[in-house]
Amino acid sequence: MICHLCPRDCGAERTETRRGGVCGMPSVPVAARAMLHQWEEPCLVGEHGAGCVFFSGCNLRCCFCQNKPISQGEVGKVLTAERLREIFHGLIDQGAACLDLVTPTHFTDAVLEALGDEPWPVPVVWNCGGYEKPETLRRLEGKVQVYLPDLKYALPGPAAKYSGAADYFDWAGRAIWEMYRQTGPYKMENGLLTRGVLIRHLVLPGELENTRRVIDWVAETFRPGEVLFSLMAQYTPQPGAVGNLARHVTRAEYRAAVAYMSNCGLADGYTQERTSAKEEYTPDFDLTGL
């Protein structure tokens, strides 16, 4: 394939054996772990956990990424679409509350093939960085029930500085609109999210203004009952981080973000304890479950 799947628009040649583009991945799926995961938002976890498949490679390559060994490293096992489908079935057999596809964008073709045309017994969750093309998302219509995009930045400054994507917000805003067009207002059954859009935002140290602008956009764009919003506190400094990124988010910063969210009327959603900034959130990427 000559790849134009995401806003990087690399035009890179990606084949079964040839890796290319910013994501650095071949055309066939590569993943680093499949598991039941307890650390997603409660509406995705249920009794046994979200059925996560962690894909390797990423189109954003944020410098603070907590999953660098798989997003920017070489860790991962090459799969076929057929094997991916078996993995999905295996997670459901273990009691997964949903199929949680983590960073799947660059494998859209293979994921669509693995999902097939029949409905799945649990919601399919597209868990992505938000830097998506609406035209690629349109191909997922009817196959994905829950969108779980990050909305990392509303300001071009930090988007350029940390992810090399000054145009992040232009794309993410339109992508989230397309997601919402497909799902409509979120729906819950027995505490589980069965349909809808859950927007995540990770508070970054020293970037409160960016967080406020993200919250403004969500509050001004959607009415209560339309989307869910998750304000995340789990930023963890990575080795070699410099400047503000070398520290955790302070208690005052996170409190200010929670207060701003509340003042803007964003009541449909989640906040985290600051003590959740632990490495437990990051599983071992040891290829188990693949």
CB 199, min distance to ligand SF4, A: 21
| Residues of the shown chain interacting with ligand SF4 in the complex, contacts defined by CB under 6 A | 3-6, 8-10, 12, 14, 20-23, 59, 106
H/E stretch holding 50: strand 50-55
Q: Where are the beta strands (DSSP E) in 61-217?
A: 77-78, 99-102, 124-128, 146-149, 187-189, 192-202
Closer residue to ligand SF4, CB minimum distance, 61 or 274: 61
Expressed in percent and rounded to 5, the helix, strand and coil fractions of the chain are: 35, 20, 45
CB 23, min distance to ligand SF4, A: 3
CB 153, min distance to ligand SF4, A: 17
Closer residue to ligand SF4, CB minimum distance, 11 or 142: 11
Residue nearest to ligand SF4 (CB): 21
- What gap in Å lies between CA 69 and CA 285, rounded to an integer? 8
Closer residue to ligand SF4, CB minimum distance, 137 or 193: 137
How far CA 181 is from CA of 135, 199, 273, in Å, comes to: 13, 14, 32
CB 266, min distance to ligand SF4, A: 30
Closer residue to ligand SF4, CB minimum distance, 10 or 264: 10
- What gap in Å lies between CA 52 and CA 42, rounded to an integer? 14
CB 140, min distance to ligand SF4, A: 14
Start-to-end CA span in the chain (Å): 24
Closer residue to ligand SF4, CB minimum distance, 130 or 269: 130
Tell me the Ramachandran region of residue 44: left when phi exceeds 0, alpha when psi lies from -120 to 50, beta otherwise: alpha
